[in-house]
């Protein structure tokens, strides 16, 4: 039977329209009607009614309560059916791992946080991840093959096509390891792999401090320092996936050696490891600080410094203020270059609030162009330590919706 060469384009166009409708419903829950979807996508009401009918029959969307209307009968609005299935969001850090089990509305059902040593390599790391995930799912009697998709964030540059990290400075032995393919083979579900700062940006944009912003930067200050960028409502990754590696901007070419092999990177001055090292050196040199009560000295962490600073320890506050100024200098360059409406500071160190945030603001104010600083807001992450894992949930939902959109041809 003859098939027109245009037929595949027609099918793809229909699937694209279905996915566009799902995204509009997803990001405007209980607020968008069939008429509004038709207007935004540029389709006839009949075409949209056909798409929505398919999606309702599949159970992926449902009609919500009517919105109020000043003129006549209000339109029926739509929302993603949260009970359609479950997804998992995972944030892998240098020393921690967080897992979230969520419904299709991104509501959290369960979560798990555990210590983690990324330096042990991918085989060991993925084994730990697999065990933690199965333990969490078993509490809810959910087999892994019932999970619609998983989103995963890792602290390194990502090749989206390969599903692997590229020369990650703080992930020894992970370079090029097929993380996504390995987990898809193990779990037999779709897996999305992203940089953790990118997912932090996505989480804050979709559900946190960045809601309503078109352009924002999320700076994650943890063991390392990375930036996630949302430009015109989309994650910006760059050509090879290494956009946002703000932690490896050179602050002082004669500065301390960084994990990336260069000297004087921002991360070597103000990352979590650097903050901990400064504290350890000070205690070794008999500096007067509350941190001297922590033994052995080598066990002092950036979190200890942050806690001591919040409790009034002057030396710890000075460390964080200096780190805040150095990070602020780097952010000033980003503000001048990208002109975002918002910069969100996340990661464990950021939980100290104004102790580190105010020096950042002052540095940006001094070093950015007035045209850029006039509009930019610098704030802490509303989602706290969950920013990246919730971003992973949002990404997993996106993957699940793409699967739904492609499930069958739209009539």
Residue-wise DSSP of 278-346: HHHHHHHTT--SGGGGSSSGGG--HHHHHHHHHTT-HHHHHHHHHHHHHHHHHHHHHHHHH--SEEEEE
Q: Give the span between the Cα atoms of 282 and 277, in whole angstroms.
A: 9
Average confidence score pLDDT of the chain: 89
Which residues, in sequence order, are bridge partners of residue 177? none
Is residue 5's pLDDT more than 50?
no
Is residue 188's pLDDT more than 80?
yes
- Kindly report, residue by residue over 189-214, the tens digit of the pLDDT: 999 999 999 999 999 999 999 998 99
What is the structure's pLDDT at 66?
Answer: 62
Q: Give the span between the Cα atoms of 350 and 202, in whole angstroms.
A: 18
What is the structure's pLDDT at 70?
Answer: 58
pLDDT band at 131 (very low <50, low <70, confident <90, very high): very high
What is the structure's pLDDT at 182?
Answer: 97
pLDDT band at 328 (very low <50, low <70, confident <90, very high): very high
When pLDDT is averaged across residues 170-177 and rounded to a whole number, the result is 93
What is the structure's pLDDT at 72?
Answer: 59
Residues 6+ apart with CB under 8 A from 171: 94, 118, 154, 155, 156, 165
Handedness of CA 120, 268, 331, 384 (dihedral sign): positive
Q: DSSP code of 214?
A: S
Q: Which of 3-17, 168-182, 184-198, 243-257 has the lowest mean pLDDT?
A: 3-17
pLDDT band at 9 (very low <50, low <70, confident <90, very high): very low
Q: Which of 57-71, 113-127, 173-187, 287-301 has the lowest mean pLDDT?
A: 57-71
Provide the token pair at 359. 């020096």
- What are the helix and strand counts (H, E) for the chain? 13, 15
pTM above 0.85, yes or no: yes
Give the total residue count for the chain: 411
Residue 130's H or E segment, with its range, is: helix 122-139
Is residue 410's pLDDT more than 50?
no
* Ramachandran sector of residue 64 (left: φ over 0; alpha: ψ -120 to 50; beta: rest): beta
Contacts 24+ apart (CB under 8 A), 255-260: 258/169, 259/169, 259/170, 259/224, 260/169
Provide the token pair at 306. 């942050």
Distances (CA, A) of 148 to 77, 78, 209, 260: 25, 21, 27, 36
Q: Give the span between the Cα atoms of 146 and 393, in whole angstroms.
A: 16
Q: What whole-number percentage of the chain has pLDDT above 90?
A: 73
Task: State the CB neighbour count (10 A cutoff) for residue 389.
Answer: 30
What is the structure's pLDDT at 344?
Answer: 96
Q: Which of 119-133, 272-286, 344-358 has the lowest mean pLDDT?
A: 344-358
Provide the token pair at 364. 């940006």
Q: Are 77 and 63 in contact (CB under 8 A)?
A: yes
């Amino acid at each position: 039977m003859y098939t027109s060469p245009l037929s595949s384009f027609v099918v793809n166009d229909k699937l694209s329209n279905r996915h566009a409708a799902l995204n509009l419903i997803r990001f405007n829950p209980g607020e968008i009607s069939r008429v509004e979807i038709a207007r935004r996508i540029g389709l006839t009401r009949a075409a949209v009614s056909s798409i929505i009918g398919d999606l309702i029959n599949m159970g992926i969307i449902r009609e919500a309560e009517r919105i109020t209307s000043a003129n006549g009968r209000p339109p029926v609005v739509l929302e993603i059916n949260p009970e359609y299935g479950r997804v998992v969001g995972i944030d892998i850090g240098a020393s921690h791992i967080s897992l979230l089990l969520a419904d299709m509305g991104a509501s959290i059902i369960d979560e798990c946080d555990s210590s983690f040593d990324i330096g042990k390599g991918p085989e060991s790391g993925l084994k730990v991840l697999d065990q933690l995930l199965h333990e969490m799912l078993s509490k809810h009697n959910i087999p892994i093959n019932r999970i619609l998709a998983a989103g995963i964030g890792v602290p390194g540059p990502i090749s989206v096509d390969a599903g692997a990290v590229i020369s990650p400075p703080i992930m020894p032995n992970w370079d090029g390891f097929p993380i996504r393919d390995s987990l898809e083979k193990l779990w037999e579900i779709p897996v999305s792999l992203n940089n953790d700062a990118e997912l932090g940006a996505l989480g804050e944009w979709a559900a946190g401090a960045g809601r309503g912003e078109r352009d924002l930067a999320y700076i994650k200050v943890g063991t390392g320092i990375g930036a996630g960028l949302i430009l015109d409502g989309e994650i910006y990754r760059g050509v090879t996936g290494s956009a946002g590696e703000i932690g490896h901007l050179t602050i002082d070419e004669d500065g301390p050696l960084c994990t990336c092999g260069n000297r004087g990177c921002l991360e070597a001055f103000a990352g979590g490891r650097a903050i901990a090292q400064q504290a350890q050196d000070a205690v070794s040199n008999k500096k007067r600080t509350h941190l001297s009560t922590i033994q052995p000295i080598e066990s002092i962490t950036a979190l200890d410094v942050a806690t001591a600073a919040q409790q009034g320890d002057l030396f710890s506050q000075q460390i964080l203020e200096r780190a805040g100024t150095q990070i602020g200098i780097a952010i000033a360059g980003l503000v001048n270059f990208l002109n975002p409406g918002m910069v969100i500071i996340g990661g464990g160190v950021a939980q100290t609030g104004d102790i580190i945030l105010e020096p950042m603001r002052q540095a940006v104010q001094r070093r950015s162009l007035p045209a850029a600083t006039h509009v930019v807001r610098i704030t802490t992450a509303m989602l706290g330590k969950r920013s990246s894992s919730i971003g992973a949930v949002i990404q997993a939902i996106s993957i699940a919706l793409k699967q739904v959109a492609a499930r069958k041809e739209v009539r």
